[in-house]
Amino acid sequence: MPLPFKKGEPDLPDNRKAAMSRLHGLKNQFLKRPKYHEHYMTFMNHYMTFMNEILKRGDAEKIPTDEVSTSSSWYIPHHGVYHPKKPSKVRVVFDCSARYQGTCLNDHLLQGPDLINPLIGVLYRFRQAPIAFTYDVEKMYHQFRVTKEHQDYLRFLWWENGDLSKPPVDYRMKVHLFGATSSPGCANFGLKQIAEDHKVLGVEAAEFLKRNFYVDDGLKCVSSEEDAIDLIKKAVSMCAKGNLRLHKFVCNNQRVTSSIPESERTVVAKTSLELGQQGSTSIERALGIQWCINSDEFCFRLTLKDHPLTRRGILATVASIYDPLGLIAPVVLVGRQIVQEMCRQKMDWDHPVPEDLRPQWEKWRLEILKLPKVTIPRCFEPQDFGTPQEVQLHHFSDASLSGYGQCSYVRLKDENGKVHCSLAMAKARVTPLKQTTIPRLELQAAICSVRIASILNDELDYDSLTHHFWTD
């Protein structure tokens, strides 16, 4: 695919000197921070290995000397960033927003339509059946090539073999970059197009690629082991047609896991298979949510940083709790109420917590450390539950002067008349600072229920749904 420029190929200024200056700044960081240098060099060694591989495939190349002075070109600075959960690793980021003479590459690129599936929709469907698995597309953006006439807009500088004593060398990427405004749209279009072009291999596998991927992470659940094995086989074959590799496989079923080559599994999946169901607490992240594979439950294991006891620090702690489905919404609401009270008192961002709020904050912070004891079943259906014959969604809403919210439950009834209810989603909000009446807040909560119901109705894959709304 070409780079989707807004008004044809732009005439950009020569920013090689600016990129060279950024590279020298990076070199100075290496000399001042030896540990950072070591980690960066380790990553770049792997990167160079990767470069050798893609050079064989023709995905990237070193720019010939006689082509370095091409007029239509752009150099992209890069730097290393630490992942907070992987302090010994560094990720190289290409800065497509780096400006030179008032412009940057991203200014000239179209973002394109939003083809990313809603995150909560993918998570909803991940809870509908007992056998669940996750997949990942290897280096998704780098699997889609850029047309030749646009590759010179993706140049970068680096020391050959990572040797700082040598002069920098000019390279150009031939694939879409992480950091370019257009890359998410291009990559997601490419994945969906592969599914459409090869759907003859399996309609369900094509739907999996189209509807159950959030960028490069795919989540899916099915009713039987045979269906899971067949779907995985077809999805892998379909992606292979477009030279995409599905890897980092995780599943809550040992037989399905055994059918996957060991090289395609995550470390967690391998460990889970070795330990079996007894005594294993293998946890994997499913779009950021912690999923205990063997017990098939969502859990909340928090690692809180020691932020200062200020409005800024308290907000950072509350915002660090990731819960897109609102499964622990009542707990998070208390923290938000404390932040709101500080806003009501018009405190500065770095003002210490007042004495009247300190006990309330310390109590809440101690309580959220107990969240690891809380688990939520991933699947809406319990074990030994039959095929759902009737599916209802019950939405409850309520309000008070301190907050309002709603919760939605999936109510399933099988052929034997057995009934089971599961929490699907919840949302809790603090009331506005401007005082309002309880009836108006009740209506706000009811509106929230209607909006959540609309999302659930669109995203869940049940054949027929009936909605029931409960409010004061």
Which residues, listed in sequence order, are joined to residue 156 by a DSSP beta bridge?
A: 171
- List C-alpha distances in Å: 404 to 104, 333, 397, 426, 438: 44, 9, 8, 11, 10
Instruction: Take residue 18 and report the two structure tokens written for it.
Output: 């600016």
Joined tokens for residue 418: 């057995």
Question: Quick one: pLDDT at residue 169?
Answer: 87
pLDDT, tens digit, 9 for 90 and up, residues 35-49: 666 666 665 555 455
How far CA 256 is from CA of 138, 222, 261, 270, 340, in Å, comes to 21, 11, 11, 12, 48
User: If we measure between CA atoms, which residue out of 365, 333, 344 comes closest to residue 433?
Assistant: 344
Domain 384-470 fold: Ubiquitin-like (UB roll) (3.10.20)
Q: Where in the chain is the domain with CATH 3.10.10?
A: 16-115+146-180
Mean of pLDDT over the chain: 88
CA nearest neighbour of 95 among 26, 191, 197: 26
Using pLDDT thresholds of 50, 70 and 90, give the confidence band for residue 455: very high
Rounded Cα distance, 381 and 420, in Å: 7
Residue 278's pLDDT is: 45
* pLDDT reading at 394 higher than 90: yes
Over residues 196-208, the pLDDT tens digits come to: 999 999 999 999 9
Residue-level pLDDT at 273: 57
**Entry pTM:** 0.87
Cα separation, 422 vs 430, in Å, equals 25
Q: Measured between alpha carbons, how far is 21 from 379 in angstroms, rounded to an integer?
A: 53
Element (H, E) at 44: helix 34-57
Instruction: Report pLDDT digits (tens) over 168-225.
Output: 889 898 999 888 999 999 999 999 999 999 999 999 999 999 999 999 999 999 999 9
Q: pLDDT of 250-279, one tens digit each?
A: 999 999 999 999 989 887 665 555 555 444
pLDDT on residue 160: 77
Q: What is the pLDDT of residues 275-333, one digit of tens each?
A: 554 445 688 999 999 999 989 999 998 888 888 889 999 999 999 999 999 999 999 99
Of 3.30.70, 3.10.10, 3.40.50, 2.60.40, which CATH number belongs to 16-115+146-180?
Answer: 3.10.10
412-448 core/surface letters (b: 16 or more CB in 10 A; e: else) = bbbeeeeeeebebbbbbbbbeeeeeeeeebbebbbeb
Residue intervals of the chain classified under CATH 3.10.20 are 384-470
Interatomic CA distance for residues 207 and 199, integer angstroms: 8
pLDDT of residue 279: 44
Per-residue confidence band for 337, with pLDDT thresholds at 50, 70 and 90: very high
Query: Which of 31-40, 155-164, 430-439, 443-452 shows the lowest per-residue confidence on average (mean pLDDT)?
Result: 31-40
Enumerate the H helices of 176-320 as residue ranges. 183-197, 203-211, 225-241, 254-258, 267-275, 311-319
Q: For residues 298 and 283, is the Cβ–Cβ distance under 8 A?
A: no
Confidence band of 87 (pLDDT split at 50, 70, 90)? low
Residue 85, CA distances (Å) to 35, 45, 90, 298 in order: 17, 21, 11, 20
Please write the tens of the pLDDT for every residue from 48-70.
555 566 567 767 788 888 888 87
d(C-alpha 325, C-alpha 68), whole Å? 51
